[in-house]
Structure 1
Amino acid sequence: MKFASTSSYVAADDLAVAVNAAVTLQRPLLVKGEPGTGKTELARQVAASLDMELIEWHVKSTTKAQQGLYEYDAVSRLRDSQLGEARVHEVRNYIRKGKLWQAFEAPSRVVLLIDEIDKADIEFPNDLLQELDRMEFHVYETGETVQAVHRPVVIITSNNEKELPDAFLRRCFFHYIRFPDAETLAAIVRLHFPGIKEQLLTTALTQFFDLREVPGLKKKPSTSEVLDWLKLILAEDLGPEDLRREGKHSLPRLYGALLKNEQDVQLFERLAFLSRTGRN
């Protein structure tokens, strides 16, 4: 089976090629792109398309690579020993399996998502090199070696918050998800809102792309944000005429779904003011 667009996800041709290449090479697929361009959703759609279970590991700034393998709860074992618990004699009772261990021991091949790897410490990717290469790791407390029953499809996402080590990059198949063009974005919108009228769609997307092109914008709105915006527009039963503005740089209707910080709102307010005073 090969990955392609699904009934709920539009995958550009180059993205589908990247996914299938990574699966063939049995290498992790490192996916970068603007926040909101569907990187996390990609893993879910790959799992659904290839009929595999999805295991998700969402990385935080405090996440350590060891947590993906296992965690040994020495504190609980000490407490149980003080209480005379019988379970204290079996160290396995105090080992909690991480997401990699779960993926390695799965009875069939799974998709493992390591989400937003760039949030963690710079050493985090390097600490996973051997495990992702060899698909095995050692459990020091029990002396056992855990080996992958089936090599999982590993999808790693990054928002480019920090550079990843070269040694890690060499082991990945890389793909950058470009922001969709107008035609692709329209196809994505139609998937989510099948009944949307074409005139409303055209007017909304024209306004949306105009907004993204405004110089000085701190955070450009993403795919997920335009979908939220259109959901509100349809809920309010607004038509194309309701979206048309006096000036190109005026604040759009329901702009809170698109603009996420006060600097960008103030930028549009200044541009609207300059546009009005320029006409007078």
Structure 2
Amino acid sequence: MKFQGTGEYVATPDLQMAVNAAITLQRPLLLKGEPGTGKTMLAEQLATSLGTDLIQWHIKSTTKAHQGLYEYDAVSRLRDSQLGTDKVHDISNYIIKGKLWEAFTADKPVVLLIDEIDKADIEFPNDLLLELDKMEFFVYETQERVVATHRPIILITSNNEKELPDAFLRRCFFHYIDFPDRDTMKAIVDVHYPHIQKDLVREALDVFFDVRKVPGLKKKPSTSELIDWLKLLMADDVGVDVLRNKDHSKAIPPMYGALVKNEQDVQLLEKLAFMSRRKG
């Protein structure tokens, strides 16, 4: 079964190719791209498309690789030994399964999302090389070897906060999700709001892409922020004529808090009056 997107997710031909190539090669798919371009949502929709489960491992700065395999709760075992609990004699009662263990022992091939891997320590990817390559790991406390029953489809996302090691990159199929062009963005909007006014979408996309073109912008608005902004425009019944406003003293679009996320960018937009292209 080939992934071709879903009714809720617009996948470009390049992205479809990358997903299907990673599945064919049985390698993790490493996804990079601007925040808000749908990297995490892709994993959700891929699982839906394939009719399987999604296991999500959200990485934090404090996350360690072994937590994805398992953790040994020595503190609970010590407490239970002091209380004289019978289960203390079986160490497996204190082994907490991680997300990789869940994915390896699932009764069918699942989609495993390792989200924002670049947030973790630089050694984090290297610490998972063997497990992702061999699809197995060893539990030292119980002397048990866990081998994947079915090889999961692994998606790994990164926002480029840190460089990833070459040895890790070599084991992945890489794809950079380009920011959607206008036609693709319109298709995305149609998926979310099929009954939205076409004139409103056209004017909103003009404003949105104008904001993204502003030089020196600290954070460009993303796809998810456009979707939020359109929802607010419809909720407040903002008319098309408001978006066409030629008054340069009102350079900031209505409900701008959904698009612009820091005061430096607000000040910049006020100074540049990005809607000046509407003169005449």
Corresponding position: 1:193 with 2:193: yes
Q: Is residue 146 from structure 1 mapped to residue 152 from structure 2 by the alignment?
A: no
Distance across 2 between alignment mates of 1:237 and 1:166: 51
2:153 pairs with 1:168: no
Does the CA contact (< 8 Å) of 1:249 and 1:271 recur in 2?
Answer: no
1:205-258 C-alpha deviation (Å, 9 max, x unpaired):
011000100000000000000000000000011121011232398111100000
- For residues 74 and 14 of structure 1, the distance between their equivalents in structure 2, rounded to whole angstroms, comes to 47
Q: Distance in 1 between matches of 2:20 and 2:29?
A: 10
Aligned: 1:28 with 2:22: no
* Aligned counterpart, 2:59: 59
Number of residues of Structure 1 aligned to a counterpart in Structure 2: 275
- The equivalent residue for 1:11 is 11
Counterpart secondary structure, 1:11: coil
Alpha-carbon distance between aligned partners in 1 of 2:169 and 2:264, rounded to the nearest angstrom:
35
Return the alpha-carbon distance in structure 2 between the equivalents of residues 123 and 73 of structure 1.
23
Matches within 5 A, 1:123-138: 123-138=123-138
Q: Counterpart in 1 of 2:255?
A: 254
Structure 1 pair 249/32, CA: closer, same or farther in 2 (3 Å)?
farther
Indicate if the aligned counterparts of 1:33 and 1:177 stay in contact, CA closer than 8 A. Answer: yes
What one-letter code is carried by the residue in structure 1 that aligns with 2:265? D
Q: 1:4-29 CA deviation, whole Å, 9 max, x = no partner?
A: 12111000000000000000000000
Q: Which amino acid aligns with 2:94?
A: Y
Counterpart-to-counterpart distance in 2, 1:131 and 1:66: 10
What is the rounded CA distance, in whole Å, between the counterparts of 2:63 and 2:100 in structure 1? 14
Aligned to 1:233: 233
Q: Which amino acid aligns with 2:251?
A: S
Identity rate, percent: 70
CA distance in 2, matches of 1:120, 1:64: 7
**For 1:143-178, what per-residue CA distance to the aligned partner results, in whole angstroms no more than 9, with x for missing partners?**
010000000000000001110000000000000000
The RMSD of aligned alpha carbons is 1.4
Report the CA distance between 1:272 and its aligned residue. 3.6
How far off is 1:266 after superposition?
1.1
Which secondary structure does the structure 1 equivalent of 2:268 belong to?
Answer: helix
* TM-score, normalisation: structure 2: 0.96
- Counterpart of 2:208 in structure 1 is 208
Q: Return the alpha-carbon distance in structure 1 between the equivalents of residues 69 and 5 of structure 2.
A: 32
- Report the Cα distance in structure 2 between the residues aligned to 1:85 and 1:42, rounded to whole angstroms: 46
Query: 1:210 touches 1:248 (CA, 8 Å); kept in 2?
Result: no
Distance 2:168 2:195 in 1: 45
User: In 2, distance between residues paired with 1:145 and 1:263?
Assistant: 54
Report the AA paired with residue 53 of structure 1: D
1:249 and 1:100 map into 2 onto residues whose CA distance is: 52
CA distance in 2, matches of 1:116, 1:37: 13
Q: Cα distance, 1:33 vs. partner?
A: 0.3
Q: Distance between the aligned counterparts of 2:40 and 2:193, measured in 1? A: 21
Task: Quote the Cα distance in structure 1 between the aligned partners of 2:125 and 2:3.
Answer: 26
> Secondary structure in 2 aligned to 1:113?
strand
Whether contact under 8 Å (1:211, 1:249) holds in the other structure is: no
Amino acid of the structure 2 residue aligned with 1:270: K
8 Å CA contact 2:5, 2:46 repeated in 1: no
Whichever residue aligns with residue 176 of structure 1, its letter is Y
Question: SS of the residue aligned with 1:128?
Answer: helix
| Cross-structure match for 1:242 | 242
CA contact (8 A) 2:119 2:161 kept: yes
Q: State the alpha-carbon separation in 1 of the partners of residues 270 and 207 from structure 2.
A: 16
Q: Could you tell me how far apart the structure 1 residues matched to 2:191 and 2:205 are?
A: 15
Corresponding residue of 1:83: 83
